[in-house]
Chain A
């Protein structure tokens, strides 16, 4: 028995809407098997993982806190992936944004005015964009593979942050802990609600709306799609794939950098050796689960944020490893990609041995 793919005459709109839902359900099913294999009641664990975090206001706020960076980064990545450029280094751009954005509160802590925070956000976005431009320019100039170069820079950014908080940026009054000084009130994102939720969430929503308009209503959005689907057609239309690479990287880097500085000045409040539980990589899953559509990314960001909370929940209440969350995320991306095949193809199971190949040769 084997699989055969039959190309559909046109994209299946039904499957396009259904595939992310099916993928999430398959992930829950596989997750249940995983919980059972680890010796826990799968239904109880699934409830603790996926439902319980949604039942009280504290964790709902926390859900928004975790979804904010994911949505911001995934929005930028979706522009890259739509235009067929592969930025995999958002994690590094997140850190770079956090570092450059923290220059003011760490090095000039006395500068406290209404300008402090806007300047920090600007520098954060700039830091992420500049960091993302390295792989972009290496690609357009030297034809260097952007996947590998952007990824290598993730490790470099992490080490740079580690150096800063252990070395020159260490809090002079911090008992030698590897952390920067706490940011002043003027350098901190205004809080919404009674938890860690801040104005960052509103920024993310604004970005989603702006990007949705850009993609669906402007020439730039059209250009992104054309270059992504057919670079040749794009060049006939006078669109430059090289300039698009630079644009997509700069935009996604800026959004990742913005997410970085907002995370640091919002829910963390200072620089630490590690400021991200892998947001830059998880955002790749968010982008695909949201089918590279900003509005759907907003929903997908909440789903993936739930996986972080769910991981913490099963760890706290059932004594399971919070690594479960990472596994769930990886499985989810697999299922999303597999289900997406159904949009373009019908799958047929064919009995008997392969009809092509060997027989034809004989």
Chain B
């Protein structure tokens, strides 16, 4: 029982982890992309559709990453090149993504899906309890954790990360030093889009291997909240994502156990938990202000 719960917690947490990690990089570059939900649902439908048509889960995952990046490129063009309002443009991206995914996915409703294969480590996966949990997950779970290490390393241990953070903290100075603020932000936004697409594909190929309209159900928004929760630090995203994965899974199990609470109340717990967590984190100004990128959401027009 505990083993099964842990397995589902990891599956529930992984899309949140990947999407939030991508958005963390975007926000570190000073761009606020509220379109995570839209990019994620596009990743979900594209991943499902391509995996279904080609019969290959990996191709589906790649296509989903591409779809997320295409969506974010559109967002980047408006926000970075045309300096439109970032909040409004992010919302536009979400509305467009929800509509477009519904249109694309209409033919795939009720079609049985592909499930990503589990990677079994010979010998280790057979160990009792720790085996399936630690060594029997699908590749994306490991990829997500590798991404955390990669992002943390690049952000805080390399020159690239230094430039990225400089662009997010003070775009005018970074520009004066000769760095292309726009180029850095485009790359960050594309990375975030790819991550959101991958997170979406994980929803439709591993979490619940099927296509249901609006199946991300606000997870893109929860990922945005996780970035605040993590106060823009990659390792804390892991903690937040697993915490939320646990909340989601516990509501399922409470439902299955027939606890005398309306199912709608249980279903609303992740959303309420998000608000509570946001309140707890943001009321501590010291914690948030230290790491918040100072130029987050502010438009930048290079002078010549």
- Residues of chain A at the chain B interface (Cβ within 8 Å): 3-5, 7, 86, 88, 138, 141-145, 147-149, 151-153, 155-156, 159-160, 162-163, 167, 281, 284-285, 288, 321, 323-331, 333-334, 337-338, 340-341, 345, 347, 354-358, 360-361
Contact = CB atoms under 8 A, between A and B. Distances in A.
How big is the B interface, by class? 35 or more
B105 to A, nearest CB: 9
A221 B228 CA distance: 33
Contacts of B283: 141-144
B178 A360 contact: yes
B271 A323 contact: no
B87 A326 contact: no
A60 to B, nearest CB: 25
A285 B175 contact: no
**Chain A to chain B: the 10 pairs with minimum beta-carbon distance, closest first:** A326-B99, A330-B96, A357-B180, A361-B178, A333-B92, A163-B264, A142-B283, A327-B99, A323-B103, A159-B264
Given A323-B99, A326-B98, A357-B183, A155 B271 contact: yes
Contacts of B282: 142-145
Secondary structure call for the B interface:
helix
A334 B99 contact: no
B97 interface: yes
B84 A337 contact: yes
Secondary structure call for the A interface:
helix
15 contacts: A5-B82, A88-B91, A138-B279, A141-B283, A143-B282, A144-B278, A149-B279, A167-B262, A326-B103, A328-B99, A329-B99, A330-B96, A334-B96, A355-B304, A358-B180
A288 B228 contact: no
Interface of B: 34, 74, 78, 81-85, 87-89, 91-93, 95-100, 102-103, 106, 175, 177-180, 183, 217-218, 221, 224-225, 228, 262, 264-265, 267-268, 271-272, 274-275, 278-279, 282-283, 285, 288, 301-302, 304
Of B88, B183, B262, B304, most A-chain CB atoms within 10 Å: B88
B302 A356 contact: yes
Contacts of A338: 78, 82, 84
A345 B299 CA distance: 13
B223 to A, nearest CB: 10
A331 B74 CA distance: 11
Contact of B268 (A86, A155, A325): A155
Contacts of A151: 218, 221
Contacts of B98: 326, 330
A160 B268 contact: yes
